[in-house]
Amino acid sequence: MKRTRLVLAGALGCVLAVGLTPTAWASTTYPAEQSNNTSTCVAGSSTSPADCAAAFAGQTDTRTGIETPLFDPPGGNVSAENVRDLLYPGSATKVFVNMMLGFCTPADGTSSPGIPRCNSNVLTQYTSDNTATVDAHLADFVRRGIDGAVMDWYGPGSRVNDATLKYQGEIRNQGYCPGGPQQCQVMYLIMYDGSTLKYPVSWTGIPNTTGSGCSTSLGGTDAENCIVARLRNDICYMNGLHFGNDAYQKYNGRPMLQFFINEGGMYPNLPKTGPAPSWEDVWFWIRQWTDNMHVNCSGAPAGSPNYAADNGMPLLLFENAGGFTHAQSDGAFDWVNPTQNQDDLRISPASTGGTVDNFYATSLNYLSSKVVWGVAYKGFNDVQSAWGANRLIDQRCGQTWVLSLASARNNGYSSSRQLPFVQIATWNDYNEGTPIETGIDNCYQVAASVSGSTLTWQANAANGNANPATISHWLVFNSTDGGSSYQQIASLAAGSTSYDLSGLPAGTHTLFVKMVGRADILNQVSGTVTYASSGPSPSSWIDEQVQFSGT
């Protein structure tokens, strides 16, 4: 019988055979385990867009008292664990990220002292409607298990719409949609950004619509008439170019459309509720229009897209818990609602309006009749924004992220009462300090050492808010060629702090430990350490066939 040394790898019960490498644990390198794996612009990174103008250096708030000065770190090595694992056990929730699509380079006249901008957006160093950027984002979505993107949309003819169409095309071109309609690996839908109403867009040519901008100084009746005609135009355009696409997300056969509009402030002469002229009346007329789009969206000039196609009547979704009772509402999506108090995370209590807990508690009353979109976020900081208002939510070293996701299970959602959708706010809104694209820093640094035949490590907190709840597990890597290449030899539970090296074969071993974060947390690695092994003792050898178990 072949004599084979078996080693038990920690509390997870992973059985390893020294001298044989499990096929799942491929050879790697020390730099690879700490290098960027995101779509952020990082010099020399294979996962960054190929045409980045420069490396994204991160964003810092140097004001006194700011608890998370580096609120958007440079791109790093990010955990690919699924966000669903942080919602509740057995979650089947569809996870979407909110996408900003207006980024460009180089800096232009919209910059301010110390803050370079392009088209009023901070510089991410990529251009949103470039194919290389789109492909990098899609690949990162797939790697992290993200189901799709909600596109913050600015109307037909805009660069944002060009970027949205580019995503639509690349989902197909990159093979992410082999299963047909509603079966794409990456889906998308549109969030209608109300600020677009102020600016002209491409006109469809459909009667009773307009592509004109609606001035915010218009009187009530003129404002309502303009907004109704403009929304008709833009929704018909969506029906012709988006709603019928295989990758456009539907619910019970109907395309979903989110509205992000400041109804209480953008048009001061148009009240939110009441008889015409009002926003309530706007939505009455939009409902009449969308219920009969196969008729209302006809009459475009010859050669136009089929704006009147039968793609299902769109579901109209509105913001926050009040969205459930909004005029003509088919459902609601929650959003991040910051104040100027960085310590108010806006997650609890459920009794306070505008918190995540409040949204989920309210949503249970509508789950059977309306569409529910929860929210998750890492924090908020608009100090770099051209429209900043000193709004803040501290990240708490990843705790804000974890707690915002846990709110679903803390307020009634479970494997037997599923949350249909959750929207991450956001993937890449660098203007307001909410992106998870770069990864979320949990404020730990890892130190490792060897004493005797035991490898030990510790997570050293660089900030008092660092919390072990942001750690998923630990990986141990071993090299027998002086550090040129490594193989993973153990995967250990989050509470582990040591690993027995006595079973390693004779020779010099170079080792390091990797902290794997929970979903979208930045991973961290220790420095390398060495261990000189004389080989396992004869008494530890057993006459058994080698068996492997998964990690």
The pLDDT value recorded for residue 538 is 61
Question: Last residue of a domain, which of 369, 394, 424?
Answer: 424
What's the whole-number mean pLDDT along residues 52-60?
97
281-300 residue pLDDT tens: 999 999 999 999 999 999 99
Q: Does residue 128 sit in the same domain as residue 261?
A: yes
pLDDT band of residue 399 (cuts 50, 70, 90) is very high
| 549, pLDDT greater than 50 | no
- Residue from 90, 34, 145, 129 nearest 424 by CA: 145
The pLDDT value recorded for residue 122 is 97
Q: Does residue 385 sit in the same domain as residue 499?
A: no
- Find out whether 150 and 429 touch, Cβ atoms under 8 Å: no
Q: Does residue 360 sit in the same domain as residue 490?
A: no
Q: Does residue 407 sit in the same domain as residue 451?
A: no
SS3 content of the chain, % helix, strand, coil (to 5): 20, 25, 55
Q: Does residue 45 form part of some domain? A: no
Torsion of CA 207, 208, 210, 214, to 10 degrees: 170
Q: Does residue 548 form part of some domain? A: no
Q: Does residue 281 form part of some domain? A: yes
Q: In which element (H, E) is residue 400 found?
A: helix 399-410
Question: Last residue of a domain, which of 365, 393, 424?
Answer: 424
> Which structural domain, as residue segments, surrounds residue 292?
74-424
CATH code, 461 = 2.60.40.10
Whole-number Å distance between alpha carbons of 285 and 224: 10
What's the domain count of the chain?
2
Q: Does residue 144 sit in the same domain as residue 27?
A: no
What's the whole-number mean pLDDT along residues 183-210?
98
More confident residue, 120 or 11: 120
For the whole prediction, is pTM greater than 0.85? Answer: yes
321-363 residue pLDDT tens: 999 999 999 999 999 999 999 999 999 999 999 999 999 999 9
Q: Does residue 53 form part of some domain? A: no
300-328 residue pLDDT tens: 999 999 999 999 999 999 999 999 999 99
Q: What is the CA radius of gyration of the chain?
A: 26
Pairing of strands 444-451, 454-461: antiparallel
Q: Does residue 242 sit in the same domain as residue 382?
A: yes
Q: Does residue 91 sit in the same domain as residue 181?
A: yes
The pLDDT value recorded for residue 24 is 53
What's the whole-number mean pLDDT along residues 423-440?
98
5-33 residue pLDDT tens: 333 333 333 333 333 334 457 899 999 99
CATH code, 130 = 3.20.20
Q: Does residue 195 form part of some domain? A: yes
Q: Does residue 80 sit in the same domain as residue 199?
A: yes
Question: Last residue of a domain, which of 424, 459, 481?
Answer: 424
Q: Does residue 408 sit in the same domain as residue 452?
A: no
Q: Does residue 28 sit in the same domain as residue 115?
A: no
Whole-number Å distance between alpha carbons of 277 and 281: 7
Q: Does residue 61 form part of some domain? A: no
What's the whole-number mean pLDDT along residues 518-523?
98
Q: What is the largest CA-CA distance in the chain?
A: 92
Q: Does residue 410 sit in the same domain as residue 462?
A: no
- Residue from 63, 57, 59, 58 nearest 342 by CA: 63
Concatenate the DSSP letters of all residues of 233-274 into one string: HHHHHHHHHTTTSTTB-EETTEEEEEEE--TTTSSTTS-SSS
Pairing of strands 380-381, 529-533: unpaired
The pLDDT value recorded for residue 536 is 84
Q: Does residue 65 form part of some domain? A: no
Q: Does residue 205 form part of some domain? A: yes
Q: Does residue 14 sit in the same domain as residue 88?
A: no
- Residue from 353, 317, 314, 361 nearest 337 by CA: 353
pLDDT band of residue 242 (cuts 50, 70, 90) is very high
pLDDT band of residue 539 (cuts 50, 70, 90) is low
